[in-house]
Structure 1
Amino acid sequence: MKLDKDTCEWLGCPTPLEMYQHQCALLEDELTATQKRLIEARRNIAGLVQMCDLLSTGKATAEAELKKAIDNIARLNHETWELDGKVRALESVADQRDDLFRENQRLLLELSVLRGPQP
């Protein structure tokens, strides 16, 4: 059995114009949703750029403070080295004093033995 009728005229089948209009409506909805997402993405990017700027500023500040701390550590290490030299010199003098004191005590004891008992 052959049908010569065009199926586009059947009830419930859209015409080509209606199909194009429907496709246009779908594309418009898609474009609107994409535009909303693009606006949101641009806002997010602006926030990220601002955060990056803040982090860069914070990093520069932290690096400057680190450099100051390293310089301070180097200065303190040098001062410690100088003070250590002075302490070693003072310890040497104290050792010499102790040796001289012991030698003096020994000599005094010998002298008192040589002189004999004192009346």
Structure 2
Amino acid sequence: MTVDPLEIEDTSDWLGCPTELETCRYFLRMTENEMQELTLQLRKAREDIFGLVQMHADAAKECGTLRAELAKAKADLADSNRRATDIETKSNWELMANSRHISELTLRIRELSGEKPFESPFPHLRETSRT
């Protein structure tokens, strides 16, 4: 079934129906508004990106500073450990030397007091018979 073009109602003169030109202008305004909104969103996105780039640069700078401080702290720790080891070694040598000196003085005192220096200072325990 085909419709005769003469039977189709012409609505161009009805009230409230936009003409083709009005429809084009309406879509043009909608497109311009959308472009303005997208332009604002793009500007905001660029500002956000710039802010993030700046934050990253600040964080990278702080990270570099902290890495340098950490390296210095590690070097200071290694120096402190080395000094502590040197002090401990020296202290152990001094303790050994003092102990040896005390042993020599004790031996000399025993000799001068008439004791036999290489004899045990403790009396022998009585031997018990084992059965």
TM-score grouping bracket, smaller chain normalisation: 0.7 to 0.9
Within 1, Cα distance between the matches of 2:54 and 2:8? Answer: 68
- Please show how residues 9-20 of structure 1 align to structure 2 within 5 Å: 9-20=13-24
The aligned residue for residue 118 of structure 2 is none
Write out the 4+ residue segments of structure 1 that deviate beyond 6 Å after TM superposition: none
Which of the two has greater helix per residue? Answer: 1
Tell whether 2:25 aligns with 1:24: no
Within 2, Cα distance between the matches of 1:86 and 1:4? Answer: 115
Within 2, Cα distance between the matches of 1:16 and 1:53? Answer: 54
Unaligned runs of 5+ in 1: 112-119
The offset of 1:8, in angstroms, is: 3.5
Equivalent of 1:93 in 97, 106, 115: 97
Which has the larger displacement, 57-66 or 9-18? Answer: 9-18
Within 2, Cα distance between the matches of 1:10 and 1:105? Answer: 137
TM-score, normalised with respect to structure 1? 0.78
Within 2, Cα distance between the matches of 1:4 and 1:40? Answer: 51
Q: How many pairs does the alignment contain?
A: 110
Unaligned runs of 5+ in 2: 1-5, 116-131
Amino acid at match of 2:70: L
Equivalent of 1:68 in 69, 72, 80: 72
TM-score, normalised with respect to structure 2? 0.72
The offset of 1:5, in angstroms, is: 2.0
The offset of 1:99, in angstroms, is: 1.8
Equivalent of 2:48 in 44, 47, 55: 44
The offset of 1:33, in angstroms, is: 0.8
The offset of 1:51, in angstroms, is: 1.7
Deviations 1:52-83 (A, max 9, x none): 22212111111111111111111222222222
Sequence identity percentage = 29
